[in-house]
Amino acid sequence: MSSANPNIRLFVENDLSEEAGFLIDGHQGHYLMNVMRMKEGEVVALFNGRDGEWMARLEKTGKGRAEVRVLGQIEEQSPEPDLWYLFAPVKRARLDYMVEKATELGASLIWPVMTRRTNVDRVKEERLRANAIEAAEQCGRLTVPEIRSPVKLERVLLDWPEDRLILFCDEAGGEGGQDIAPLGIAVKAAEEKTGLDKWAILIGPEGGFTPEERHMIRQHPQSVAVTLGPRILRADTAAVAALALWQCYAGDWQ
């Protein structure tokens, strides 16, 4: 097993094992050859979300393409937190930011949810996946989060799995003037009460959920309403705050 740690990491779909060889072309080939200007004999790190991270050597290079030979494993595949991130899509630049940060903060699944106040009509899933892959390559994680197709909020709640809790970040506070708990307290109490430890974080759109949507979410049996503090946060800020807090109290930051 090699102790080398190349600075360039790439996500590939290929199976990874010692002496495996394959071609890297397309966007990644362009990146290696034309952006990083790599030469034959140089090494890169490769991961595919299944086999851990491996070092590979560039054996033959051409215009925007390179043949690589896998040399040895750098890091074994290890379990990661099973955390879903559901959000109402926002405008392009902030959407890119949200996907990037959700990936860096360990979300295992990223799922756009269409609400009544969502002001984006179309979401390019291939762009979301490209952003997630790039973020995973940069932050050192060994997987890329699954990207799901946009679905209306009502359908998501109707089809929700019974073994997963919904962390509802409710910027409007409790119903009927009741207080709601901070995230860490709410997560611990819900896990003790239900015996469940799978979670999803739900972030609303700019302008927040409508009163009808809030009521619908709060009435869902898997929903746990939480507060992210006394200030109204932008959707992208709320996403980072909620993901970081969950990782601190229930994820791999413990």
Q: Locate the domains of the chain by residue range.
A: 9-75, 83-250
151-152 vs 199-203, strand pairing mode: unpaired
The pLDDT assigned to 170 comes to 87
pLDDT of residue 60: 87
Per-residue pLDDT at 174: 58
CATH 3.30.365.10 matches 9-75: no
Summarised one tens digit per residue, pLDDT across range 136-191 is 999 999 999 999 999 999 999 999 999 999 999 987 765 544 568 889 999 999 99
Q: For the ranges 50-54, 191-195, 249-253, which has the lowest average pLDDT?
A: 249-253
Per-residue pLDDT, 180: 80
Report pLDDT for 190: 95
Cβ atoms of residues 236 and 90 within 8 Å:
yes
> pLDDT tier at 7 (50, 70, 90 boundaries)?
confident
Architecture of domain 83-250: 3-Layer(aba) Sandwich (3.40)
Predicted local confidence at residue 1, as pLDDT: 40
Given this chain, do its domains 9-75 and 83-250 carry the same CATH topology? no
What is residue 3's predicted lDDT score, i.e. its pLDDT?
A: 40
Tell me which of 107 and 94 has the higher pLDDT. 107
Check residue 62 and give its pLDDT: 85
Residue 177's pLDDT is: 43
Q: d(Cα 115, Cα 226) in Å, to the nearest integer?
A: 19
> Where do the DSSP E strands lie in the chain?
9-11, 21-24, 43-47, 53-62, 65-75, 83-87, 109-114, 146-147, 151-152, 165-169, 199-203, 223-226
Higher pLDDT, 4 or 235: 235
Q: How confident is the prediction for the chain on average, in pLDDT?
A: 92
pLDDT of residue 250: 92
Share of the chain above pLDDT 70, in %: 94
How much is the pLDDT for 119? 86
